[in-house]
Structure 1
Amino acid sequence: MTKNKSKIKHMLKINSFLILIILFSPLMLFSQDGLYKIYSVELRREVSMAEMTDKLAHADVVFFGEEHNDSVAHVLQLELLKGLHAIHGQGLSLSMEMFQTDVQLVLDEYLAGQITERNLKADARPWKNYPDYQGMVEYAKEKGLYVLAANAPSRYTNRVTREGITSLMGLAKEAKKYLAPLPIDTLRGPYYDKFNGLMGGHNGMGNLKIYQSQNVWDATMAWKIARLAKRRQVKQILHLNGRFHSDEKLGTYAHLQGYAKKLKLSNIAAFPHESFANPDWATWEHLGDFIIITDPNVNRSF
C-alpha cells in the first residue's frame, strides 16, 4: 500500500512537471529567441514567465499594462491567461479595456455561442487590432471564462472632452449605468502631474477636460472590475489596458484601490525599449511589480 502511494506521488510530480512544460514551452522558445525579458521589482532580478505567473497568482486583480501595438506583449498576455487559468480554473476572469461596457451583452452572447464571430465584430465595436486580442477571447470562450467589457463608452468620454465632467450629470439613468458612479474623483496629484507632463505642461481648460475624460475612462474600468470581484465564484481577474492606466499604480489601479480597498492588486508594465540588450531595470522599478521589455526591432505584425 505504501509502495503504491509512493508511485502515485511520483507520477503526480511527473505529470505536474509535464503540464508546466506544455503550458510554458511556447514561452520558453519565445524567450530563447530573445524577444522579451521579465524583471521582478520585489526580487530585483530577471525571472521566467513561470515565476511571474506563480507570484501573480496570489493577487485578486492583475493589471497587464501594454503598448497597444506590441505584438510580443499580446502573446505574453495570452500565455499569462493560460497560466493563471491552470491555477484558478473557472475562478479566473478576463477584463479588457478593448471592449466598452455597453457591448457586454454582445460579448456575453458570443462567449455563450449564441451569435457568430461576424456578429461580434459588427456589434461589439472591437478595436482595429482586434486580431491581437482575439486569441484571448477565443481561449476564454473555449474554457468558459467570463470576459468583462470594462471600458467607458467613447461617446461619453468624448462628451467630457468637449464639455467637461459635469456634463455627464445630464445623462439619462440608463446611460449612467455604463459609467462609474458620479461624481468621479479625478485623482488630482501624481496622476494629474503625469498627465499634464504628457500634454506638454499646458494647464488650459481644454487639457483639463481631456484629463477629466481620462479619469472617466479609468474610473469606469475600476468600478466594473470592483463589481466583478464581488462575485462569489471569482478568484482572480486579469485586466488588460494601455499601460498609462496602471503604470506607477495610478489611474485605473488607484481608482480600484478607492472602490475596493481590501483587494490585493498587482501590476505589470510591458513595452518595447531600445536598451533591450542591456536594460537598466532600476530606471523602471517605479512603474510596477513586474517590468517586461520587448525587443523593439521585432516585426510588430506577428
Structure 2
Amino acid sequence: MKNIFIAILLSGFCLLKAQEFKAYQFYDKKGNETGTEKLINELAEYDVVFFGENHNSSINHWLQLKVTEALVAKKNGQVVLGAEMFERDNQPQLNKYLAGKMDAKTLKDSARLWNNFATDYKPLVDFAKDRKIPFIATNVPRRYASQVSKEGLESLNNLTAQDKTYMARLPVKVTLDTPGYSEMKKMMGDHAEEMKVMNFVSAQAIKDATMAESILKNLQAGKTFIHYNGNYHSKEFGGIYWYIKQQKPNLKIAVISVFESEDPELKVPEKDYIPTNFNLVIPEDMTKTY
C-alpha cells in the first residue's frame, strides 16, 4: 500500500514537472511560429511598426520593451518611438523629460499621463531617454476627441488655428469601410441614433488620423518608427494603419496584433482571429497591471 501511495505521488510530480508554462508566442501571418530573433530581423526592414497592446497586460508591455531594445540594437539606434498614450500638446513636457531638464514628478504634474504610466510606459520612455532616441506624442488631446463624440467632427472647425495644430488636418475622412469602424457601429446596436453612432466613430477617427499624421511628420529616412497603441487602433490593418496608407500607400508597415488565449500551449486561436503581419498570443490569465 505504501509503495502504491509513493507511486501515485511520483506520477503526479512527473506530470507537474512535464507541464510547460508559456508566457507568449509570436506567429506570422500564415500561422507559423516565429522566434524573437527572426521577428526582430524582419521588423528591421519596415518603415513603421505598430505594436498593439492590451493596455493592462504585463507581458504585453514587457515584450514591447524587449522588442524595442533588440530592434534598436539591430538598427544601431536608427529608430523613432511614439505612442498613443501621449497627446500632441504634451510634446514639450515630454521633450524636457527626455533631455533631462524635467524630472519624473514634474512630468507627472504637468502632462496628462495615463494612470499606469509608471509601470507600463515609463520604462519605454526612460529607455528612449538613456539612448537619446526621439519619442513622439502622437495622439490628439482627449478634450477634442470628447468634443467630437458629443458634437460631431464638424465642431472642430470652430477651434482656433493653434488648437488645430494638435490634430490631423481637417477635414478628416470617416468611413465605415475602414476595418474596425463597422464593428464599433455594431457594438452600439441597431437602435442607436445614427448621428450618435457616427460621432462615436468619428471620435475614434480623429485619434487614428492624428496619430497617422504624427507618424508621417516624424518619419526619418532609414529609421524605423515604432508605435505603441491599443490593439484596436491597428488591428486588421485598420485605424492608424489605414490612414497612413491613404497618404503613403508604398510605405512598408508592419502590424503586431495581440490575442489572449486560455490554451496553455498558446496555439493560434480558433475564434475571432484575424491575423496581421505578426501576431502575439498571450495567456488570458496573465497578470494585469490594473
The TM-score bracket by the shorter chain reads 0.7 to 0.9
Render the CA deviation track for 1:13-66: whole Å, top value 9, x for unaligned.
xxxxxxxxxxxxxxxxxxx75111111114x31111111111111110000111
Q: Distance in 1 between matches of 2:103 and 2:150?
A: 36
1:1-302 maps to which residues of 2 (within 5 A)? 33-42=21-30, 44-130=31-117, 131-191=119-179, 192-204=181-193, 205-229=195-219, 231-232=220-221, 235-277=223-265, 279-281=267-269, 283=271, 286-301=274-289
Any unmatched runs of 5+ in structure 2? 1-19
Q: Distance in 2 between matches of 1:90 and 1:110?
A: 19
SS in 1 for 2:265: coil
Higher helix fraction (1 or 2): 1
Kindly state the Cα deviation for residue 279 of structure 1 after the two structures are TM-superposed. Answer: 2.5
SS in 2 for 1:34: coil
TM-score (norm. length: structure 2): 0.87
Q: Distance in 1 between matches of 2:49 and 2:113?
A: 22
Q: What amino acid is aligned across from residue 51 of structure 1 in structure 2? A: K
Q: Number of aligned pairs?
A: 268
Kindly state the Cα deviation for residue 142 of structure 1 after the two structures are TM-superposed. Answer: 0.3
Structure with higher Rg: it is 2
Kindly state the Cα deviation for residue 260 of structure 1 after the two structures are TM-superposed. Answer: 2.2
Q: Distance in 1 between matches of 2:266 and 2:27?
A: 13
Any unmatched runs of 5+ in structure 1? 1-31
Render the CA deviation track for 1:210-268: whole Å, top value 9, x for unaligned.
11110000000000001111x35x61100010011100000111001112223110101
Q: Distance in 2 between matches of 1:99 and 1:176?
A: 17
Kindly state the Cα deviation for residue 201 of structure 1 after the two structures are TM-superposed. Answer: 4.3
Task: Kindly report the root-mean-square deviation, in angstroms, between the aligned alpha carbons of the 2 structures.
Answer: 1.8
Render the CA deviation track for 1:166-204: whole Å, top value 9, x for unaligned.
000000000000000000011331433122123334552
The alignment-based identity, stated in percent, is: 32
Kindly state the Cα deviation for residue 271 of structure 1 after the two structures are TM-superposed. Answer: 3.2
SS in 2 for 1:277: coil
Q: Is the 8 A contact 1:226 1:259 kept in 2?
A: no
Q: Is the 8 A contact 1:70 1:272 kept in 2?
A: no
Render the CA deviation track for 1:62-108: whole Å, top value 9, x for unaligned.
00111101110000000111011012233201110010010001000
Render the CA deviation track for 1:116-145: whole Å, top value 9, x for unaligned.
111111112110011211111110000001
Q: Distance in 2 between matches of 1:49 and 1:218?
A: 28
